[in-house]
Amino acid sequence: MIENFVSEIMTHENGLQYKEIEFQEGIKLKLFNTNKPQRLEEESMVEYRIRRKLNNSHLRNFLKGEVVYDSSNRKPFVKPKNLEQ
């Protein structure tokens, strides 16, 4: 379980934004804000797996028309269900 976020959103030297999180055991991980399918050079395998799990679950929920994320005005964004493809 995530205990706390250690940092605010920060920018890595590669230009990607990330946030550090700390777990109970003192483990710190960087969670990069990108949807690239490949592992980044700066990521450990655990960080990569966490990022891909989050991205895949957001994509699944978006395609179902469910709440995906909070927008900047703190209202949930939902894909309209009546869109024709």
pLDDT of 43 > 80? The answer is yes
Residue 24 DSSP one-character state: T
For residue 80, which amino acid is it? Answer: P
What is d(CA 4, CA 84) in angstroms, rounded to the nearest whole number?
41
- Asked if residue 59 is part of any domain, the answer here is yes
The verdict on residue 84 lying in a domain is no
pTM, two decimal places = 0.63
Pairwise CA distance, residues 35 & 4, whole Å: 23
| Residue 42 domain-assigned (yes or no) | yes
Contact 28, 50 (CB under 8 A): no
Average the pLDDT over each of 24-33, 44-53, 75-84 and give the range with the smallest value: 75-84
Q: Residues 61, 67: contact at Cβ < 8 Å?
A: yes
Domain tally, the chain: 1
| Cβ proximity of 10 and 28 under 8 Å | no
Using one digit for the tens of pLDDT, what is the confidence trace for 60-71?
877 887 665 555
| Residue 51 domain boundaries | 2-78
